[in-house]
Amino acid sequence: MTWLQIRLDASPDTAAPLEDALLDCGAASVTMEDNADQPLFEPPIGETPVWAHTRVTGLFTADTDMVAVLAGMQAIVGDLPNHRIEILEDRDWIREWMDSYHPLQCGERLWICPSWREPVDSSAVNILLDPGLAFGTGTHPTTWLCLNWLDRQALEGLTVIDYGCGSGILGIAALLLGAEKLVAVDTDPQALKATRDNGERNHIASERIDCYLPEDVPADLRGDLVLANILAGPLMELAPRLASYLAPSAPICLSGILDTQGEALIAHYATWFDGLVSDNREEWLRVSGVRNGPA
């Protein structure tokens, strides 16, 4: 199917009104993207960041009268910014994405392999992954940092808690590397479903994975290792809870932290953890340490 799209240059003040106008004029979808290669990092609570130079794109069916759309938008928002209308030929976007996603080595033993590709090294520990509807493909620096850390741990027989499990990639990696049990926690039910599905894809028995929404986590939950690849803000709030899951000397691995946030997060976690160290990849950090207290 052929589509028509209109692309408009916008600022933080005009992006939202243009989005509303496109939808009011019949757009099937509206997307916003960076128009000047400007990174956006974790925003303050309650704020929605928008790039200083944003491209707003509205998608319309091929039979849409785009002259009428432009007139309708002008009636809503006034003079339109720089814009252009294009014909968008239909493409198999899923297939193109699948073709671009390649196996990734995350340590000496560990590889992430898309479920539709053959492993590069059949003798390695290969996680067969289908991200599905949840975040976590292994390509993001924070995920890679955690996987690289896991690759160097002695995990045999441990119970691992993956808080903010996403696709389940970290917890499943831990199981394939020798852990006995995974407790996966996420606020998104789709993430829990993806974790179960990816566990099955990796031939992990269902009884080795327990999945919970945060409000359903057992009050007496204890583990031997905690993983949390979220963001710095939630990690700060979760520190007492994550610490409560661990006995003294048990390890923790945290990521989703910008290098500018590392010092404050380490100072905060030092209340509950000793030996905190960080490692970086691009502008992101991984922080790891062990639960303090009497042995």
Q: What does the DSSP 8-state code read for residue 165?
A: -
Find out whether 229 is annotated in a ligand binding site.
yes
Find out whether 198 is annotated in a ligand binding site.
no
Q: Which CATH superfamily is domain 3-90 in?
A: ACT domain (3.30.70.260)
Domain edges within the chain = 3-90, 127-291
The strand ranges marked E within 169-229 are 181-185, 209-212, 225-229
Global pTM reads 0.67
Q: Which CATH superfamily is domain 127-291 in?
A: Vaccinia Virus protein VP39 (3.40.50.150)
Q: Name 54's Cβ contacts closer than 8 Å, sequence gap at least 6.
A: 9, 10, 11, 12, 15, 32, 33, 34, 35
Tell me what pLDDT residue 24 has: 96
Find out whether 64 is annotated in a ligand binding site.
no
How does pLDDT run along the chain (295 residues), one tens digit per residue? Answer: 678 999 999 988 899 999 999 999 999 999 988 754 444 444 444 544 455 678 899 999 988 999 899 999 999 999 999 998 888 766 554 455 556 567 777 888 888 887 777 777 777 888 877 655 444 555 678 989 999 999 999 999 999 999 999 889 999 999 999 999 999 999 888 889 989 998 998 999 999 999 999 999 999 999 999 999 988 889 999 999 999 999 999 999 999 898 999 999 999 999 999 999 999 998 899 999 999 987 5
Token pair, residue 291, equals 């639960």
- Long-range contacts of the stretch 46-52 (C-beta < 8 A, 24+): 50/12, 50/15, 50/16, 51/12, 52/11, 52/12
The CA distance from 153 to 225, in Å, is 10
Find out whether 142 is annotated in a ligand binding site.
no
With CA atoms as reference, report the closest residue to 239 among 218, 264, 215, 210: 264
